[in-house]
Chain A
């Protein structure tokens, strides 16, 4: 049997109706309309960049309202060919002796805030003639949780992928410049996310500046869901005496964000005196990294504790929830009271945990908690849906039963612990280790006060 031919025959037979549909006038017209709509959106999203780069081609710049501009991209597009807005991403901007010097106030990149309508357009503003020779580049990239790198991406899955600008800055003078880099997301002109400013000194070969997610706003506010946003980077360079040298604005054009609704953001520390309510959305632990290593043996479980913690500031993907609590009561681990070692009592996860349980609970799983001192506690994990518990509302529950002959650290004491979940079938037949956000152990059963007191 020739598999190529068989596949072709099978595909053609099975998709005969699809082929007729695709060949119809209605579908052709609908596709034409989608194409035209897409071009309009693309033009609108990148209009500022197109305008700026096109103006460079004829020697005129206008960047920021009221600020005269003069600059030259490293690769000047030809005047007869409309530049692709994405080509501005990664292209360097250099200030040479022909660059006009602006006397206007320099852009304060640290004052950018969500909700502002900036009017930012990519380009450079020179504020001092000593900035001649200054050259900067910024290239948008995307890193997936498996380490895959995509250059100049036009989409990002926020749950498992992160965006960043790789930047360089060089200057011909002997002195160093003070540099501040601020990543931004724009919805048309409006700022919908502002990243933490990154301070650096020139020259640097590259700095990786991670992009915020839509809605990440230290100041101001912006509602932001899945959709297209313009990834931008504002760069301020100041001379050693504090005078502004130049301001750069890079735009990577529109990037389609999806999966924002499943990310849980950077984990906040648990306040033991006021922990999130059991079963609430802030109650679940989260993971940003799952490695295809580990097994469910004692040795494998203890080795899982050594899987390193991700840096939630950027290199790791954005955390997604797992069906385990971020804080656990000793009374739920060991029964009603510290002395009654009768095994795990069901811990509520809420009513919406079914999908998470199905992801992590297809086979045996183990939770490994480890302390800074190097001690580890291993728990068998099992999930169930119940409506028969007198003190808890119906829903999904997890039971944690300590594996007493593994780890050998005795009863776990209240405190903060690193957490790893070893679970089956991360890939078919392949167990893996999920690096969880830290888990806090609290004493007693404060979620059921009358039992705790008893």
Chain B
């Protein structure tokens, strides 16, 4: 299978999942698409032995995580240096659109980029807290704090008791990690 064939098969079978993952990480349809495309280029530019589209999807998801965390660190600097520009360009528009869609979307939009990323990696990617910390290059305690704060925020937006189960899971994971 040539790389072009593999790329076509990857996009054919995984574009929905990758687009959703990009959106969840970035909170923006546009930024999510960019993230997916950049990750695909990063994976395919380097010659690798990728056996099939499923493996390629795994590579791309890993690259998306890495690129997103890198960008988040950079954008943290940019938000300090050019405050409001990054956030204001995207979040209000997205928030307004998401607000009409569902409560989870509204709740996600209230989270900080790091909280959002931690939630997506922990609860959508199903990574352990230790793995989330490794991916985000943070201490596990910091990730736990982000998750706890994020669940508090989500509970306010979606409903006070909605995420009790997930909160217990965090405690259990702390014990393992």
Contact = CB atoms under 8 A, between A and B. Distances in A.
Interface string B64-89: 00000010011001011111110000
Interface string B11-43: 110011111111110000100110011001100
A157 B101 contact: no
Interface string B157-170: 01100110110000
Nearest to A360: B80
Interface residues of A, number: 48
A27 B112 contact: no
A258 B21 CA distance: 26
Contacts of A159: 77
A50 to B, nearest CB: 12
Given A1-B163, A355-B83, A34 B41 contact: yes
For A14, A157, A358, the residue with the greatest tally of chain B CB atoms inside 10 Å of its CB is: A14
Contacts of A35: 3, 7, 40-41, 44-45
Interface string B119-137: 1100110100000000001
A75 B123 CA distance: 42
A28 B40 CA distance: 10
Contacts of B123: 3-4, 7
B62 interface: no
Interface of B is mostly: helix
B81 A4 contact: no
A189 to B, nearest CB: 22
Given A7-B123, A157-B77, A14 B158 contact: no
Interface stretch (A18-26, A213-221, A371-379): A18-26
A20 B16 CA distance: 8
Contacts of B41: 31, 34-35, 38
Interface of A is mostly: helix
Interface residues of B, number: 57
Contacts of B70: 155
Contacts of B120: 7
Contact of B4 (A17, A27, A32): A32
B25 to A, nearest CB: 9
A82 B23 CA distance: 37
Nearest to A1: B162
B104 interface: yes
Interface of A: 1-4, 6-8, 10-23, 27-28, 31-32, 34-35, 38-39, 42, 82, 84, 144, 146, 148, 155, 157, 159-160, 258-259, 262, 320, 355-356, 358-359, 428
